[in-house]
Structure 1
Amino acid sequence: MTISVQYFHITVNDPDESLGFYRDALGLDVRNDVAAGGFRWVTLGSASQPDLEIVLSEPHAGRSQADGDALQELLTKGVLTQIGLRTDDLDATFEQVRASGAEVLQEPKEQPWGPRDCAFRDPSGNMVRIAQTPKA
């Protein structure tokens, strides 16, 4: 049996603002943009991982008012989501994302647990860690 990640959701306040980070700063491609019921689901991906997708959606999209309110509260606190990405050139990726105006949480550094990585906040407050691809 083989299990792999197909997609994951990132809750954001504003899909358009978030596209400035995920599409423009990180270089992900928009694969789908679906509107329904006054909300949007924007699917992004990378050519290097064609089977993996990131879906951006607002807290209340497809959820009850109570669940959307709970997600919005966690998103506002900045504790809802943390994602980890990998790049083959951490320094170049860091400079590209920093130049976009994203909030820098940590400049590139060697971590005691192994990877060399950096961290940013997306426009909604989600933490995004980016690690250097290990050398073979």
Structure 2
Amino acid sequence: MTLVIQFLWFARDMQAAVRCYTALIPGSAMGPVRTPMGGVEVVDFNLGDQRYRAMQTGAPEAFNHSVSISAECATQAEIDHLWERLKEGGAEQRCGWLRDRWGLSWQIVPREMGALMSGPNGARVAQAMMGMVKLDLAALRRAAA
């Protein structure tokens, strides 16, 4: 079977970013940093059950919304914890999105978001979400009820 690995290219502080991400997501781990091409650093890591490879090599193109990491959280406490840590030095955005201090976009959402959005009151859930920055699970559930 083909192995698929998401690849992230950092301009700076790759090791700090990967250490931050793996500390925040349960079941995550960072492998050893390799330097296969002079000053270029490469590291494999996993966030939960997803595999990643990161490289730091100067000035790549900046991250943008076309690639993001979606973290599905079971509780509001998990949403709050990830949100607060990832927004440090970054920027909050609407609808559960934020950019971390390295420029990577994250979607911090409740695990049940798909069910809430596809339920009979999905339009109300979507409308409630559009008015939020960090997602409020209780308010989304109320909108779905």
TM range (shorter): 0.5 to 0.7
Unaligned runs of 5+ in 1: 61-68, 110-117
Question: Conserved in 1, the CA contact under 8 Å of 2:43 and 2:54?
Answer: yes
Check if 1:17 corresponds to 2:21: no
Question: Conserved in 1, the CA contact under 8 Å of 2:67 and 2:105?
Answer: yes
Q: Which residue of 1 aligns with 2:126?
A: none
Q: Which residue of 2 aligns with 1:64?
A: none
Question: Conserved in 2, the CA contact under 8 Å of 1:90 and 1:130?
Answer: no
Q: Which residue of 2 aligns with 1:103?
A: 90
* Partners of 2:100 and 2:65 in 1: CA distance: 12
Which stretch shifts more, 78-87 or 37-46?
78-87
**Scaled by the length of structure 2, what TM-score is found?**
0.56
* Partners of 2:74 and 2:104 in 1: CA distance: 22
* Partners of 2:66 and 2:75 in 1: CA distance: 21
- In structure 2, the CA distance between the partners of 1:87 and 1:102, relative to structure 1 (3 Å rule), is farther
Q: Which residue of 2 aligns with 1:30?
A: 30
- In structure 2, the CA distance between the partners of 1:122 and 1:56, relative to structure 1 (3 Å rule), is farther
Q: Deviations over 1:86-133 (max 9, x none)?
A: 3232523332223422534237x5xxxxxxxx2222222121113322
Larger relative CO (CA 8 A, sep 6+): 1 or 2?
Answer: 1
* One-letter amino acid of the structure 2 residue matched with residue 39 of structure 1: V
> What value does the CA root-mean-square deviation take over the aligned residues?
3.2
Q: Which structure has the bigger radius of gyration?
A: 2
Question: What is the DSSP-based 3-state SS (H/G/I as helix, E as strand, rest coil) of the residue aligned with 1:40?
Answer: strand
* Structure with more helix by fraction: 2
Question: What is the DSSP-based 3-state SS (H/G/I as helix, E as strand, rest coil) of the residue aligned with 1:23?
Answer: helix
Check if 1:89 corresponds to 2:74: yes
Question: Conserved in 2, the CA contact under 8 Å of 1:11 and 1:57?
Answer: yes
- Displacement, 1:43? 1.5
- In structure 2, the CA distance between the partners of 1:31 and 1:81, relative to structure 1 (3 Å rule), is farther
Unaligned runs of 5+ in 2: 116-145
* Partners of 1:92 and 1:106 in 2: CA distance: 19
Q: Which residue of 2 aligns with 1:41?
A: 42
- Displacement, 1:19? 2.4
Q: Which residue of 1 aligns with 2:124?
A: none
Q: Deviations over 1:36-70 (max 9, x none)?
A: 312211222145x2xx311121245xxxxxxxx5x
Identity %: 10
* One-letter amino acid of the structure 1 residue matched with residue 51 of structure 2: E
* Structure with more strand by fraction: 1
Equivalent residues, number: 109
